[in-house]
Amino acid sequence: MGLFKPMNDPDFAPWNDPSATPLIKVEGVTKRYGGVVAIDNQSVDIYEREFFALLGPSGCGKTTMMRLLGGFEDISEGSISIAGQDMAGVPPNKRPVNMMFQSYALFPHMSVEQNIAFGLKREGLGQVEIRDRVSEMLRLVQLQKFASRKPDQLSGGQRQRVALARALAKAPKLLLLDEPLGALDKKLRQETQFELMDIQEKTGTTFVIVTHDQEEAMTVASRVAVMDEGRIAQIATPDVIYEAPNSRYVADFIGDVNLIEGHADGDAVAAKIGRFPSSMPKMKKGSECCLALRPEKLSIAKSKPTKATNAIKGKVLDIAYLGNITTYHVSVGDSILRAQVTNASRKARAGITWDEDVWLSWTNTAGVVLTA
């Protein structure tokens, strides 16, 4: 990996270092379109060599935030600086930023190497320097054998790598990726995620990816910013986002979750379907809250577990067999809870069937109590 510390190094966490200087500072940024507020007074720091994800549903403001970083939109209020320079009034072509579009935007009449060289020629680089840089990029994305081919002679994954090589050829400090894997099928998208991570580590370029795909963001990013209606709901590493969401919105948006609504009762959540102790700090008695439980943290059995801290009886409504896991939808009073079981053997599904009475159980530390 040369001089660059790989992102999978557990020591890479500049956001936890008070002395670290962010590469990108977004401070109090607001973007309005007439009376519509697309970005609402948001601030975020992004660090050098970080792979940062802007994640959220359509209309949440993630693409607007990316366009503000790239200079394709003007800020209504606030400021953005990159490498210590205020970007106010700096056009896109003068910023140390490049962008990779979802459509890839390759020139169909040009070969792979001509596409990669295009931006370098516009910069006025010499022929030898362009040739060496194109050769370096082809090796980086493993397309040396395809240098003379046109885009329509390549697969979707290969076109994606050409677009990435072209975007990296000018060695930007920041690369913006707009849903870069959206055009690929699921299996190829999963494979390409790891290729993208490997290329980012090798180049040391700061990547900011915009995506609505939770799995994609959780796979590639060092940190994830979950957005909702123009605001950042939570910024954290993928494991914290998943295991310790700060609100119902984040818990529900990331992965599958059971949300048991109730109120605080000492060190427990009191709900219609039961009272469930939690390891979370005590809250004001009677205050509204909910217990968030991931399906894989629930155990399911035909008989009541003898040592379970929390156990509740229900009836199996539906079963979804997904190969590696089986998901059980269990009716408990007015609620439907989901439990997931890893299929460690080929007959893992045989024990429990539809309309069967079952017991769900979990530990006190399995859930997160949410008040927002």
Q: What is the DSSP letter of 61?
A: S
- What integer pLDDT is reported at residue 350 of this predicted model? 55
Which residues of the chain are under the pLDDT cut of 70?
1-10, 183, 280-281, 346-350
pLDDT at 5: 43
pLDDT tens digits, 150-179 = 999 998 888 888 999 999 998 999 999 998
Closest CA to 291 of 250, 257, 324: 257
Tens digit of each residue's pLDDT (9 = 90 or more) over 302-312: 999 988 889 99
* Six-digit token string for 101: 């579009």
Cα distance between residue 364 and residue 303, in whole Å: 20
Name the residue with tokens 């957005």: 227
Report the pLDDT value the prediction gives residue 266, as an integer from 0 to 100.
Answer: 81
The CA-based dihedral angle spanning residues 298, 300, 303, 309, taken in that order and rounded to the nearest 10 degrees: -10
Q: Which two tokens stand for residue 189?
A: 């998208």
Contact 311, 360 (CB under 8 A): yes
Element (H, E) at 240: helix 238-243
Q: Which amino acid is at 293?
A: L
AA identity, residue 277: P
pLDDT at position 2 is 35
Structure tokens at 27: 């401070």
Residue 42's SS3 state is strand
DSSP string, 273-333: TEEEE-SSPP--TT-EEEEEE-GGG-EEESS--SS-SEEEEEEEEEEEE-SSEEEEEEEET
pLDDT of residue 188: 79
Q: Whole-angstrom Cα distance, residue 186 to residue 208? A: 21
Tell me the DSSP string of 189-226.
HHHHHHHHHHHHHHH--EEEEEES-HHHHHHH-SEEEE
Q: What local confidence, expressed as pLDDT, does residue 1 receive?
A: 30
